[in-house]
Amino acid sequence: MVSRSELRKLFYSADAVCFDVDSTVIREEGIDELAKICGVEDAVSEMELVSRLQERNVQVFLISGGFRSIVEHVASKLNIPATNVFANRLKFYFNGEYAGFDETQPTAESGGKGKVIKLLKEKFHFKKIIMIGDGATDMEACPPADAFIGFGGNAIRQQVKDNAKWYITDFVELLGELEE
């Protein structure tokens, strides 16, 4: 277990930061956004945080149990390459009817976010990965993530608030940590 001050140091020196998407990077759950065609224009502090991390040569990933088609749209708004997106793929029949989702994606199964982080460590040899999110599945990704930061700026999940060593409600707090 790391202390809060150690967690802050880990965040400051991270090789990679992984964000959950639904109710973290975007304000709504993805299924709601699908109906609205995914508006993320008001996510100013999220964009600034991602930009600041990228300026520091920190790799930024989006890991979601939501739909890749939505998450890729969010990623493009945040200047995150599609190769750094891990989410569920929708499948359709040739006639255009919904056929389900691709069950081979790691995010399609229980513990999927942790599997993605393990894969990132193996593939890129990251020493320090931080997971940021609002839900229990985000918190469960640590380990293999080296640290978890709970986020309650859009939705407060009591389990996360109670158990995260570092719990924030605004990304401005993380931006401040990068300034120090």
Catalytic site residue from 22, 134, 138, 146: 22
Catalytic site residue from 20, 134, 138, 146: 20
Active site residue 170: no
Active site residue 22: yes
Q: Which of 118, 129, 127 is nearest to 60 (CA)?
A: 129
List Cβ<8 Å contacts ≥24 apart for 2-6: 2/147, 2/165, 3/165, 4/165, 4/166
Q: How far is CA 120 from CA 3, 84, 117, 177, in A?
A: 24, 10, 5, 24
Contact indicator for 70, 33 with CB cutoff of 8 Å: yes
Task: Measure the N-to-C terminal CA separation of the chain; round to a whole number of Å.
Answer: 24
How far apart (Å, rounded) are the C-alpha atoms in residues 21 and 89?
15
Q: DSSP assignment of 69-112, as one string?
A: HHHHHHHHHTT--GGGEEEEPEEE-TTS-EEEE-TTSGGGSTTH
Contact indicator for 130, 10 with CB cutoff of 8 Å: yes
Q: Which residues are catalytic?
A: 20, 22
